[in-house]
């Protein structure tokens, strides 16, 4: 009789530029054992997020790099298989930072339990989880849009951007999205209720963005950088706020890009328009704002004012390919891998 | 009998890169007449400030460009020669935005009167005027240094930088300056009381700055950009604040600089260290903070805790040369032109 095995995906080598399949390695390992006082978890859904690209580099960041041979890090929706912890029972659904694994022995601090009757459990990895709180805290705590102001966000069909625009509309601001391709743009306007959405695959992105922002831009929620930032820069109004939560255009750069040097133009705009650029990680705001976030966004989902979309890849072994697609913008909605649901 | 004449210096042509003498033209004009309800002013001291370089370009900024043929703009200490306005008498000393002129007919709003018994009148163009308030508001309103934190400022012997460091010391922060040449650095440490000052003319500026900031940098008061910013960037701590009040290294750039493109590295630091970059013009804070500024800095000057230095050029006709020197850092202290005192 063969023992049941678990699987994990480790960092096999560091990417230079965009990751390739060779940077990942799928491993079979013995099934982890229930730890004393802990839980044995079975991963149902694994979350894929752009920040994971940064963890693959050996560079100082806000979080430690993944070591070679170590499982990729990440959050997942899990089912409790065995419990030696009071308050947790077999069959409970929890959010855990398991990394890219099919099973995990959890002896860490308490986990966030999910109630499948309140919202689909996968929302806990998206609009009701880290991406959602990133949108909420960046927009409401740092961006502070007022009624009548204009908010711009890229990756507008994704889990962060889609909520940024919907939260902007909830305070009476104009919401302008940027997304890749006509189907995503249609979804952003028709389903999510943005005022406009610019297709960055099409020609004249900068001109279209200017036309969609006749009163300039008051809040630009930065999650992509690159060409979008260059198009946004001349449209920013005096005292505009730029919460910076991601720079996906840079994540795959292997070396400093060739010229021209675009830093002076950005710094000149910061000076002459009294801009505020503020980098942030959502964890900074959890203690003060997470409860409000859950309350407001849960209510918005329940009454239909907040909508979201998921892009689910089947099969744990397909996580690397889905992740590489995410970095190229191939997903349409929150990227998830169905591992065992 | 010849009529008495006034003089003015106008923008003769726009500079490409550093200004040259040919960009300015000294003109003799008829003496202005006392306007009804206004004042006739004689300029005693003209202020020279880096921001004036920006006004010479035909580019959108926070203030209108100087037109070709129009006098250079700027602030001066003036004596009232004739008055048709209640509350102002011949011999009063006032601050006025006269531009580069020897005399001015003033029919604008009220002026700030200076009391020569309270402080030398030239301080109203420096530590007790616009440069001083730029230092005060940028540091205290935006930078918010706490005791034990490290504040770094360049052009540390100048009117803004010197006050930034002294105000930092007053709240118990460590003050590290950057200045050009050993005499300025000695002055910054020995006379102004900074904890350290790095000579950017010397070799190894980045290494020396790192050594002078063993606990990193919490507030970087940006007034120069360029190589100093590149040296500061790796030393900034998480949640560091960067008030941006000037970019003197860029002011003389005729065209976008060649590569490498330094924008990604700056934006990565903004993101991974949760930095705040905030451009500002001191006028934003006048209504709320100017009275506190005058009270605190006047008291500091009176009791010797705040010191300052002036670099006075004699002769109105020498203003262009003194201004070109200022942009190259040749001044040592607040740059002024003695016109008639």
More confident residue, A252 or A22: A22
pLDDT at B240: 98
Range scoring the smallest mean pLDDT among A20-24, A322-326, B95-99, B255-259: B255-259
Beta bridge partners of A127: none
Cα–Cα nearest to B125, from B149, B155, B95? B95
For residue B142, what is the nearest residue in chain A, using CA coordinates? Answer: A276
Q: What is the phi/psi pair of residue A115, to 5°? A: -105, 105
Calculate mean pLDDT across residues A182-211.
Answer: 95
Q: Which chain B residues touch A258 with a CB distance below 8 Å?
A: 259-261
Please list every residue in chain A whose beta carbon sits closer than 8 Å to the beta carbon of residue B264: 225, 247, 250, 253, 256-257
Burial class (CB in 10 A: 0-12, 13-18, 19+), B102: buried
Predicted pLDDT at B341: 73
Beta-carbon separation of B257 and A259 below 8 A: yes
Q: Shortest CB distance from B274 goes to which of A261, A262, A281?
A: A281
The answer on pLDDT for A1 being more than 60 is: no
Which stretch of DSSP H or E encloses residue A239?
Answer: strand A236-244
List the helix and strand counts (H, then E) for chain B: 10, 15
Q: What is the mean pLDDT of chain A?
A: 93
Q: What is the pLDDT of residue A211?
A: 97
Q: How far is A249 from chain B (nearest CA, A)?
A: 9
- Tell whether the model's pLDDT for residue A64 goes beyond 90: no
For residues B118-135, give the mean pLDDT: 94
Is B264 close to A225, i.e. CB distance below 8 A?
yes
Task: Tell whether the model's pLDDT for residue B61 goes beyond 70.
Answer: no
Count Cβ atoms below 10 Å from residue B328 Cβ, excluding itself.
Answer: 11
More confident residue, B259 or A29: A29
Cβ distance B258 to A260 less than 8 Å, yes or no, reads yes
Please give the Cα distance from B239 to B111 (Å, whole number).
40
Q: Region A228-239: what's the mean pLDDT? A: 96
Sheet holding A196-199, edge to edge: A196-199, A174-179, A150-153, A217-221, A236-244, A276-279, B276-279, B236-244, B217-221, B150-154, B174-179, B196-199
Instruction: For Cα atoms B28, B96, B118, give the angle at the middle one, nearest 5 degrees.
Output: 125
Q: Work out the average pLDDT over A153-167.
A: 96
Report yes or no: B250 at the A interface, CB cutoff 8 Å: yes
Distance from CA of B246 to the nearest CA of A (A): 7
User: Are B256 and A253 a contacting pair at CB < 8 A?
Assistant: no
Task: Please identify, in words, the CATH class of the domain defined by B130-283.
Answer: alpha beta
Nearest to A243 by CA among A220, A216, A263: A220
Q: Does B17 touch chain A (CB under 8 A)?
A: no
**Percent of residues, chain B, with pLDDT higher than 70:** 97
- pLDDT tens digits, B266-308: 999 999 999 999 999 999 999 999 999 999 999 999 899 999 9
Choice between A134 and A109, residue whose per-residue pLDDT is larger: A134
Q: Do A266 and B266 touch (CB under 8 A)?
A: yes
Domain limits of chain B? 5-120+309-338, 130-283
Statement: residue A110 has pLDDT above 90? no
How confident is the model over B6-59, as pLDDT tens digits? 999 999 999 988 999 999 999 999 999 999 999 999 999 999 998 899 899 987
CATH fold group of domain B5-120+309-338: Quinone Oxidoreductase; Chain A, domain 1 (3.90.180)
Residue A124 has pLDDT above 70, yes or no: yes
- Within 8 A of B257 by CB-CB distance, chain A residues are 259-261, 264
Interface residue A254 vs chain B (CB under 8 A): no
Contacts B245 to A, Cβ<8 Å:
271
Interface of A with B in 265-294 (CB under 8 A): 265-281, 284
pLDDT of residue B20: 96
Check CB contact under 8 Å for A261 and B256.
Answer: yes
Confidence of residue A252 (pLDDT cuts 50, 70, 90): low
* Mean pLDDT for the stretch of residues A137-149: 98
Q: Which residue, chain included where needed, has tokens 């035909």?
A: B58
A57 — contact with chain B (CB < 8 Å)? no
For residues B281 and A274, the answer to whether their CB atoms sit within 8 Å is yes
Nearest by CB: A263 against B262, B271, B275: B262
- Is A263 in the B-facing interface, judged by CB distances under 8 Å? yes
List pLDDT tens digits, range A280-331.
999 999 999 999 999 999 999 989 999 999 999 999 999 999 999 999 889 9
Residue A306 Cα, gap to closest chain B Cα (Å):
27
CATH of domain A5-126+310-338: 3.90.180.10
State the DSSP H helix or E strand holding residue B150, giving kind and residue range, or none if neither: strand B150-154
Q: Is A205 on the interface with B (CB under 8 A)?
A: no
| CA of A294 vs chain B CAs: smallest distance (Å) | 23
Q: Does B58 touch chain A (CB under 8 A)?
A: no
User: What is the structure's pLDDT at B119?
Assistant: 86
pLDDT mean across residues, chain B: 93
pLDDT of residue B10: 98
Neighbours of B61 (CB within 10 A): 15
CA distance B242 to chain A (A): 10
pLDDT at A125 over 70: yes
B93-119: average pLDDT: 93
Specify the pTM: 0.89
Q: Is A264 on the interface with B (CB under 8 A)?
A: yes
Q: Is the pLDDT of residue B114 over 90?
A: yes
| Contact yes or no for B276 and A281 at CB 8 A | no
Strand bridging mode A334-338 / A310-314: parallel
Whether the per-residue pLDDT at B1 is higher than 60: the answer is no
Average pLDDT over residues A3-11: 92
Tell me the mean pLDDT in the region A125-131: 95
Touching check for B237 and chain A: CB below 8 Å?
no
Confidence of residue A61 (pLDDT cuts 50, 70, 90): low
| CB spacing of A279 vs B273 below 8 angstroms | yes
Give the per-residue pLDDT at A118. Answer: 82
Query: C-alpha angle B326/B307/B226, rounded to 5°?
Result: 35
Q: Which residues are CB-neighbours of A303 under 8 A, at least 6 positions away? A: none
Instruction: Please report the pLDDT score of residue A329 as a whole number.
Output: 86
Q: What is the mean pLDDT of residues A254-268?
A: 84
Question: Would you say how long chain B is, in residues?
Answer: 341
> Does the beta-carbon distance from B262 to A281 stay under 8 Å?
no
Q: What is the mean pLDDT of residues B157-161?
A: 93
Chain B positions touching A60 (Cβ under 8 A) are 272
């Amino acid at each position: 009789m063969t023992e049941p095995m678990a699987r994990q995906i480790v960092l096999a080598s560091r990417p230079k530029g965009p990751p390739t399949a060779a940077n990942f390695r799928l491993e079979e390992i013995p099934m982890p054992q229930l730890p004393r006082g802990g839980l044995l978890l079975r991963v149902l859904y694994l979350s894929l997020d752009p920040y994971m690209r940064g963890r693959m580099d050996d560079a100082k960041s806000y979080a430690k790099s993944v070591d070679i041979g170590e499982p990729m890090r990440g959050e997942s929706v899990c089912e409790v298989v065995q419990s030696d912890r009071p308050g947790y029972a077999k069959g409970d659904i929890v959010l855990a930072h398991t990394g890219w694994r099919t099973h995990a022995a959890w002896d860490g601090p308490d986990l966030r339990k999910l109630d499948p009757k309140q919202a689909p459990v996968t929302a806990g990895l998206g609009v009701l989880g880290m991406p959602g709180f990133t949108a909420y805290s960046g927009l409401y705590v740092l961006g502070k849009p007022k009624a009548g102001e204009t908010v711009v966000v890229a990756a507008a069909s994704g889990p962060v951007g889609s909520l940024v625009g919907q939260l902007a509309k909830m305070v009476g601001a104009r919401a302008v999205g940027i997304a890749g391709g006509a189907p995503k743009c249609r979804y952003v306007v028709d389903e999510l209720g943005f005022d406009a959405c610019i297709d960055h695959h099409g020609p004249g992105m900068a001109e279209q963005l200017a036309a969609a922002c006749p009163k300039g831009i008051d809040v630009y929620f930065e999650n992509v950088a690159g060409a979008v930032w260059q198009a946004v820069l001349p449209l920013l109004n005096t005292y505009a706020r730029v919460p910076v939560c991601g720079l996906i255009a840079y994540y795959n750069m292997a070396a400093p890009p060739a010229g021209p040097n675009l830093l002076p133009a950005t710094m000149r705009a910061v000076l002459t328009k009294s801009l505020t650029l503020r980098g942030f990680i959502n964890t900074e705001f959890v203690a003060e704002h997470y409860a409000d976030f859950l309350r407001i966004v849960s209510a918005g989902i329940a009454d239909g004012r907040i909508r979201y979309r998921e892009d689910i890849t089947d099969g744990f072994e397909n996580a690397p390919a889905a992740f590489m697609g995410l970095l190229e913008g191939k997903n349409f909605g929150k990227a998830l891998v169905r591992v065992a649901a």
